[in-house]
Structure 1
Amino acid sequence: LVYSIKDGEIFFASELKALLLVPEIKKEVDPESVDLFLAYQAIPSPRTIFREIKKLPPAHFLIWEQGRARLERYWDVDFSRKLRLKDKDEYAQALWDVLTEATRLRLISDVPLGAFLSGGIDSSTIVGIMSACSSRPVETFSVGFDEKDFSELSYAGLVARHFGTRHREFIVKPDVISILPKLVYHYNEPFGDSSMIPTYYVARETKRYVTVALNGDGGDENLAGYTRYWQTKLLERIDRTFASLPGASRLLSMCARGYAKYPQNTFFRVWRWLDETRRHGYGYAYARRLVAFSNEHKNLVYSPEFTRTLSGTDSFRFFSDIWPKDGNLNLLEKMLYSDFHLYLPEVLMVKMDIATMANSLEGRSPFLDHKFIELIASFPPDLKLRGGVTKYILKRKLKHFLPAEILKRRKMGFGVPVGIWFRNELKPMLVDTLLSQMALSRGYFNPAVVKRMVEEHISGVSDHSSRLWILLNLELWHRIFVDNKDYG
């Protein structure tokens, strides 16, 4: 829900573009929202890209009374209440019972129903439960790329055969980028996650066969599935060990300075992380692992004028506000909590919701059932992440349910080969859009730095793919929503 309050009246809509038709609302871009977008790939609520329009935050309702708006939260994930069970098997069974029920409830439908299947643990688990609950083969749908390093189709096919599903695969090619302006229009605001492309594509193709599709979204955020969780926990252990050494602080500062000369060196990156953690805390250090444009990157790419406009603002301040202050929470729980309040609702869920609904397909996510979230939040942290094993308790339960190849494979993520495409088929689009006079005159960025980023990426000197994708998306959004260009 988006809304705007003007002269004692409230205007609200489910899509931002509807409010842009209200004459009283100015289409003035909020510079701080642009800054947040470059950091987090999306604009977190309650902000939107426009100054005079706000977003209702997740798990809140708005009360309008006597010309005033009041926001109230009606739900939040609570890691402080712990469930005490006898052993790991009881925890695993409790997880399984609630997840099975969450999946079963989402199978209630009077229209054709299927599932997205990536070949990862989460979507494979949902497909397996669906198969156990159904008397007919489950309809499954997967998307992949010709670039083998980015394609999981072989794993998806393995799971499909394991559960006997009716499986269909779709290949995303670079020419699919032609739908990007249309996607930018659907997303209403700048959105920097490049997997919006294959998500939209698989939703469009899936709609030809079913009207509802279940997915595995939320498994990583509930059960600590991302590599950044165990990497951060490992660095925490290093930090605690290092703190006991004599002269630790002086040595830390010396090593951290080495990062300036060798930013890609793993050794110096670790030392810099430790130094930042000491100076700013774990919340700041974790946020740096999430952002696309760090403060250093933004200082380089912003024009002097835009930097002055942003004087006194800091996109990391938003993250510090959502980072838990409860000293009783484990570091892992703090990371999970912050992802429940930023990455999950503002990026992952938005991506899936808009990609599916733009194709009149309903997406359903059993891992995001509130009873499941509440249950898993009550589990001890070491049942989610044990050593370097992510999703420990789920994998324990799945030992005889999923193929061993699926349980043991490295997490791949939903990567898109835009870096390769930008050097080949999409090079003309990248250059013509970002280096156009229209784009360079927006005033946000230093034209020389943007040109250098494009040239370095195309030549292979550096990989700027994720940041170039964000800049490309922002420029296309500007053309459609500010310049009123046709989105094709």
Structure 2
Amino acid sequence: MTWTPGCPPREEAYFRHALRPLARPAEDAIAAVRDALRDSVHAHLQSEVPLGAFLSSGIDSTAVVALARELRPGIRTYTVGFDDERYSEIEAATQTAAALGVGLTATLVHDDDVIAALPRIVWHLDDPIADPAIVPLWFLARTAARDVTVVLSGEGADELFAGYEIYREPAALAGVGRLPASLRRGLRAVSAVMPEGVRGKSFLDRATTPIEERYYGNARIFGPAEKARLMRAPAQPHTAVTAPLYTAAADLDDVATMQYVDLHTWLPGDILTKADRMSMAHSLELRVPFLDRAVYAAAASLPTSLKVARTTKYALREAMRGIVPDAVVDRRKLGFPTPTRVWLRGDVGAWAGDVFADAGVDHLLDLGHVQRLLAAHRRGDADHSRKIWTVLMFCLWYAQQTTPRPVPARP
């Protein structure tokens, strides 16, 4: 902001995202990614205090560790997992650490740990964030902070290099998008009368809806009808937030447009916020080499064909081939998966019911409806875990930020 006496303040952005593909051979574009990321990781290793790195089962953190060990062969790495092996990355991370020749410290999180830690986690967040990955990140940072003061992490790679599976959606919907408008309207009418849950309904809904109406990021928890059922006051439509972004991205293809939206919303509002607050809660400095300006420039110049080809993050994977194990290069994204579905059918679910009963937010939300969702989830009738978890995080935050209320003890 610039202010001159006698004039109104003038505001301007100091940086604007520019996702513009460059016409060059694929091998040159991939080499540019590799060189920029290597330089960034090496620069982020400068430290006068103990330094380590987070390591999951995926390409992002593995790339950072593999490049870091070029200068620091003995770098310490940290991972986290759960009792339920379907959601635990400890085994895969252990194999990766062994292949790279680095030490690994693994932390196992139990249901009791979640109940004990969640109110404290919410307190450190300041703002309500319902991403379940906050939980493993809290325990990961706590363990790392016992040994090191600085950690490197892989945040930013998914947004820059198109790592989310939903970025492959435009290609899947392209066939319907090429149909005449009248036929698309007919398909949308068919989808409107199809019962919820019927196979193909969601595909038709999304294929016949313009991208600016259907896409607003990764976290789509409650649909319009569900929000109307849950909330006491009318909900703000997502377009109130995303419309200016779609205007600015009007000349981009659909994949780059989705990235543009996420770079302005999901990345700063979720990914970086939770990483910053969960690490700083343990006085741990977290560094993100993927968000270096040169790495950004290399990613922003990639054509869609090098982002979502046979897999997600194609250019990044190929840039790291030969540097990280092939098993990691070709592994699908997991990203510290969290067993909220399992937790909410056990002791965490019973505890959540007590939180809802004493949350003091009935003037804002229909918690009777939420309790019914919880009961159906615990019976195994449906998977409502993301919806229940979202309301749980809000209730914990609200209780702390308004009139302090005691959080129910574990059952």
TM-score bracket for the superposition, by shorter chain length: over 0.9
Residue identity matched to 2:243:
S
- Which residue number corresponds to residue 370 of structure 2? 450
1:173 equivalenced with 2:96 (yes/no) = no
Q: 1:125 aligns with which of 49, 63, 67?
A: 63
1:10-89 map, 5 Å: 71-80=11-20, 82-85=21-24, 87-89=25-27
Q: Compare the two structures and name the one with the higher strand fraction.
A: 1
1:150 equivalenced with 2:87 (yes/no) = yes
- Secondary structure in structure 2 of the residue aligned to 1:217: coil
1:451-481 deviation digits (Å, cap 9, x = unpaired) = 2112111111121111111111111111111
- Secondary structure in structure 2 of the residue aligned to 1:220: helix
Structure 1 CA distance for aligned equivalents of residues 288 and 242 of structure 2: 26
1:301-352 deviation digits (Å, cap 9, x = unpaired) = 123xx23xx5xx4233212222244443111111111110000010000010
1:360 equivalenced with 2:299 (yes/no) = no
Structure 1 CA distance for aligned equivalents of residues 329 and 82 of structure 2: 22
Q: 1:186–1:354: 8 Å Cα contact kept in structure 2?
A: yes
1:412 equivalenced with 2:315 (yes/no) = no
Q: 1:112–1:209: 8 Å Cα contact kept in structure 2?
A: yes
- Secondary structure in structure 2 of the residue aligned to 1:143: strand
1:48-79 deviation digits (Å, cap 9, x = unpaired) = xxxxxxxxxxxxx6879899876432112111
Q: 1:144–1:151: 8 Å Cα contact kept in structure 2?
A: yes
Q: 1:252–1:271: 8 Å Cα contact kept in structure 2?
A: yes
Residue identity matched to 2:259:
L
Q: 2:191 aligns with which of 256, 270, 280?
A: 256
- The number of equivalent residue pairs is 407
Structure 2 CA distance for aligned equivalents of residues 215 and 478 of structure 1: 30
Structure 1 CA distance for aligned equivalents of residues 317 and 185 of structure 2: 42
Displacement, 1:402? 2.0
> What 5-or-longer segments of structure 2 have no aligned partner?
none
Structure 2 CA distance for aligned equivalents of residues 269 and 226 of structure 1: 18
- Secondary structure in structure 1 of the residue aligned to 2:69: helix
Displacement, 1:133? 2.0
Structure 2 CA distance for aligned equivalents of residues 63 and 343 of structure 1: 31
Structure 1 pair 430/63, CA: closer, same or farther in 2 (3 Å)? farther
Structure 1 CA distance for aligned equivalents of residues 190 and 242 of structure 2: 27
Residue identity matched to 2:183:
A
Displacement, 1:251? 3.2
- Which residue number corresponds to residue 97 of structure 2? 160
1:265 equivalenced with 2:198 (yes/no) = yes
TM-score (norm 2): 0.93
Residue identity matched to 1:361:
L
Structure 1 pair 169/69, CA: closer, same or farther in 2 (3 Å)? farther
1:389 equivalenced with 2:311 (yes/no) = yes
Structure 2 CA distance for aligned equivalents of residues 366 and 289 of structure 1: 22
Q: 2:268 aligns with which of 345, 356, 366?
A: 345
Structure 1 CA distance for aligned equivalents of residues 4 and 128 of structure 2: 28
Residue identity matched to 1:83:
L
- Which residue number corresponds to residue 184 of structure 1? 122
Q: 2:51–2:149: 8 Å Cα contact kept in structure 1?
A: yes
1:365-393 deviation digits (Å, cap 9, x = unpaired) = 1111122112211222211112x421111
Structure 2 CA distance for aligned equivalents of residues 390 and 446 of structure 1: 39
Residue identity matched to 1:206:
A
Structure 2 CA distance for aligned equivalents of residues 351 and 288 of structure 1: 16
Q: 2:128–2:397: 8 Å Cα contact kept in structure 1?
A: yes
Structure 2 CA distance for aligned equivalents of residues 256 and 65 of structure 1: 59
- Secondary structure in structure 2 of the residue aligned to 1:200: helix
Structure 1 pair 71/146, CA: closer, same or farther in 2 (3 Å)? farther
1:33-59 deviation digits (Å, cap 9, x = unpaired) = xxxxxxxxxxxxxxxxxxxxxxxxxxx
Higher RCO (CA 8 Å, separation ≥ 6 residues): 2
TM-score (norm 1): 0.78
CA RMSD of aligned residues (A): 2.3
- Secondary structure in structure 1 of the residue aligned to 2:286: strand
* Percent pairwise identity: 28
Residue identity matched to 1:347:
D
Residue identity matched to 1:265:
V
Q: 1:113–1:210: 8 Å Cα contact kept in structure 2?
A: yes
1:97-120 deviation digits (Å, cap 9, x = unpaired) = 111111111000000001000020
